Amino acid sequence: MFYGKFIFTKFIVVSIFLTPILAEWNTRDYIRREHSLTKPYQGSGMSVPYWDFLGSTIVTSNYVRLTPDLQSKSGAIWNTVPCHTRNWELQVQFKVHGRGKDLFGDGFAIWYTRDRMQHGPVFGSKDYFHGLAIVLDTYSNHNGAHNHQHPYISAMINNGTLHYDHDRDGTHTQLAGCEAKFRNFNHDTHLSIVYRDDTLIVSTDLEGKNAWKECLKVENVLLPTGYFFGASATTGDLSDNHDIIAIKMYELDLLESQNKHEDRSNIIPSAASFEAPRDRVEDSKPAMSGVKTFLYMMFVAIVIIVIVVLGIMWYQKRQEHSRKRLY
């Protein structure tokens, strides 16, 4: 059973130093049912408690499918209860799979945003959003070379003014990102998003080893309380099944330094640092063409051969010389 592995690691570390206050510390880290989606999904009747559905989304007894492996689909699920927790962890168990071996897309996103249930072009949701997007992009829309491979996970913070640019796969608005192969696994795949003390940490568990691997960490990220969690996915010319198996939201403890009476509801989403738009620079100096590379390698080979031949000739001359002197 997958249950708060990240919290458990912290539990061990903290327990070494803070054994006396541990009991209290641990009881305050707990799962918030009203922000979670777990099996069995359906309550009484057809509705799923605390979640609304949009577009192509279907609910079965084993998964919530945002899109099927068909072209031009788009679906989303949105939590109905705003999140008033200051420090939280969202663990998402997901499965992205399809028939495509080399061609598949487009990906999905996990949201913490002001507006919910808004259909749009950013993996099935609204562009110019307010809040946080964790994008799991499976298809590279970029024609030139990226500095990274796909699938790729990235984080974006928006105050409503930024456009998610698909042509650049969002690279010039992302805070940070990491490559992550997460398609077509038989074992469970998980994502963890921790927002604690204004620090955002995204980790993955993709290898079936039951261990988190850090993907990105960004400090000085400001997000207000009162936004909504959601997940959305889209397919275009290329497709995949984008399934959400479970979402678990854990309320994390307030830090000593945090004032529990502070009103965080009017904060404008912001992040102190943007990642430099690396791939734009890359574009201005095109990579060597195949022919150029071949000629270059040939030149290097000829130079090496000439040096070796000259070396042998010089060595033989020297040997002759010394023989002449000896006899």
Closest CB to Ca ion among 25 and 128?
128
Can you tell me which of 69, 89, 115, 137 binds Ca ion, judged by CB under 5 A? 137
Taking CB atoms within 8 Å and a gap of at least 24, the contacts of 286-289 are 287/145
Half-sphere exposure (Cβ direction) of 143: Cα atoms closer than 13 Å: 2
Beta-ladder partners of 37: 247
Contact 204, 153 (CB under 8 A): yes
Tell me if the bond preceding 269 is cis, omega within 30° of 0.
no
Is 240 a residue that touches Ca ion (CB under 5 A)? no
Q: In a 10 Å sphere around its CB, with 0-12 CB exposed, 13-18 middle and 19+ buried, how is residue 80 labelled?
A: middle
Q: Which does 159 bind (CB under 5 to 8 A by kind): ligand NAG, Ca ion, none?
A: ligand NAG
Q: Which of 58, 268, 302, 307 binds ligand NAG (CB under 6 A)?
A: 268
Taking residues 163 to 182 in sequence order and writing x for each that binds Ca ion by CB under 5 A, - otherwise, the string is: ------x-------------
Contacts with Ca ion, 78-117, as mask; x by CB under 5 A? ----------------------------------------
CB 159 → ligand NAG: shortest distance, Å? 4
Strand partners of residue 113? 131, 228
CB of 234 to Ca ion, least distance (A): 10
Which of Ca ion, ligand NAG, none is residue 137 near (CB under 5 to 8 Å by kind)? Ca ion
Are 104 and 98 in contact by the 8 Å Cβ rule? The answer is yes
159 is an interface residue for ligand NAG by CB under 6 A: yes
Q: Does 266 bind ligand NAG (CB under 6 A)?
A: no
41 binds, options ligand NAG, Ca ion, none, Cβ within 5 to 8 A by partner type: none
Contact 190, 213 (CB under 8 A): no
> Distance between CA atoms of 200 and 183, rounded to whole angstroms?
24
53 vs 274, which CB is nearer to ligand NAG? Answer: 274
Q: Tell me whether residue 72 or residue 319 sits nearer to Ca ion (CB atom).
A: 72
233 neighbors 242 (Cβ within 8 angstroms): yes
User: In the complex, which residues of this chain contact ligand NAG (CB under 6 A)?
Assistant: 159, 161-162, 268
